[in-house]
Amino acid sequence: MASLRDIKQRIDSTEKTQHITKAMQMVSASKMAKAELNARSFVPYSEKLQEVVAHIASSTDATHPMLQKRNVKKTGYVIITSDRGLAGAYNSNVLRSFYQTVQERHKSKDEYAIIAIGRVGYEFCTKRELPVIKSILGLADQPNFADIKKLATETVQMYTDEEIDELVIFYNHYVSAISQVVTSKTLLPITDMETGSSSTSQYEYEPSEEAILEVLLPQYAESLIYGSLLDGKASEHAARMTAMKSATDNADELIEDLSLAYNRARQAGITQEITEIIGGVAALE
Amino acid sequence: MKTLDVSVVTPDGPVLEDNFEMVVCKAENGEIGILPEHIPLVAPLTIGDVRLKRDNNTEYIAVNGGFVEVRPDKVTILAQSAEKSSDIDVDRAQKAKNRAEDRLQSKQDHVDFQRAELALKRAMNRLKVAQK
């Protein structure tokens, strides 16, 4: 049985760890609130953009390469992970789902390319020698559009240049503070346009529909990448908060068990001393 | 006087939402002025300023690309970035301008050249709007 001092030491160290996890939990909680707010302030932009794109795409017969499916020779994958760990299953869920998809769909590494956002995903891929062509590491906790604009533009450009024929994104969708779901979405070609928008007004296009699609679609695709990133960030903070909360709870439980063991050991010590004294007295008589 | 509901929206959130009497922005084929009861219109914008007029006052907004959607009583400007003249970081714009000029002078390959040119345009636009 561990000595009193050993148990005491373990209790102390567990308490210290608990302080840290508790602090991290609170930090993540406030970051999550901020990230959720960011994701929400992005909504009006994306909704409006989608509305106009859907409207143009449905009301005219103007076509654009981004709206047309083509034979897929090479697929681009965007994977959004965090830069740091301690976020529970946040990263492993995304990476597992991504890895399975790749194993199922592709036989050779020439058939796909990876755009990694976040260090964990980047290291996962380089360790397995998967083809990472672009990456962004060390993004801020509350990223701006400007932070990923370059990457988004280049990625969309790759599709336009027919380097890739399809763009799929993997990220954690934020459902609530305790639930995040791995989601994979095909960003390009743009297919699922909701056409049932409320505005039925007929627009004038200046200069022409094609010219507008030319500007609008890349902007739309870039905004989708950014939207997923914001969603992913909110999930990251939520996942970290939950992970830290359960770590704190576990520490509580551990301390409780240890305190019990400590008290038992103390009691055992006292009992033993008493027995020894009584034994000594009995021997003298 | 009739007014237009104007909102300027970027991926980082709305920049401005207010009522104005007239909106002037730079489309690809030249400037367009929008008054209330304009017919529905969609037009891409170039890097430039947007002028919003109300009661003889004019507000300026620096817009980097994007497009404008017009409905009879509502104007929405969707841009990847947009700043009110009072919100512009002049130091940063000045630095960006210098950087872009350096890059243009060093004559690298085509893509970089284009990007530097765009960056220069954006920086100059910001500086111009900030001075108003």
**Closest-CA distance of chain A to residue B14, Å:** 7
- Banded model confidence at residue A201, pLDDT cuts 50, 70, 90: low
Of B54, B69, B85, the residue at which a domain comes to its end is B85
Largest CA distance in chain B: 53
Q: What is the number of other CB atoms lying within 10 angstroms of the CB of residue A208?
A: 11
Task: Kindly state the tokens that stand for A195.
Answer: 């056409």
B118 touches chain A (CB under 8 A): no
CATH of the domain at A250: 1.10.287.80
Q: What domain range includes position A259? A: 4-22+244-284
Per the prediction, chain A carries an average pLDDT of 86
- Banded model confidence at residue B110, pLDDT cuts 50, 70, 90: low
pLDDT at A154 (0 to 100): 86
ipTM value, please give it.
0.74
Rg of chain A in Å (alpha carbons)? 28
Report the DSSP beta bridge partners of residue B4: B20
> How do B82-84 and B57-63 pair as beta strands?
antiparallel
Q: How many domains does the structure of chain A reveal?
A: 2
pLDDT at A1 (0 to 100): 56
* Contact between A122 and A116 (Cβ < 8 Å): yes
Q: Is A260 exposed, middle or buried (0-12, 13-18, 19+ CB in 10 A)?
A: exposed
A229 and A270 fall within a common domain: no
Could you read off the pLDDT of A102-144 as tens digits, one per residue? 888 888 888 888 888 989 989 988 888 888 888 888 888 888 8
B12 contacts in chain A (CB < 8 Å) = 38, 41-42, 144-145
CATH of the domain at B20: 2.60.15.10
What's the pTM value of the predicted model, to 2 decimals?
Answer: 0.82
Distance of CA B18 to the CA centre of its chain: 16
Q: What angle do the packed helices A145-160 and A209-284 form, to 10 degrees?
A: 130
Mean pLDDT of A222-233: 89
CATH of the domain at B122: 1.20.5.440
CA distance B130 to B85: 5
Could you read off the pLDDT of B45-97 as tens digits, one per residue? 888 888 888 888 888 888 888 888 888 888 889 888 888 888 888 888 888 88
A233 contacts in chain B (CB < 8 Å) = none
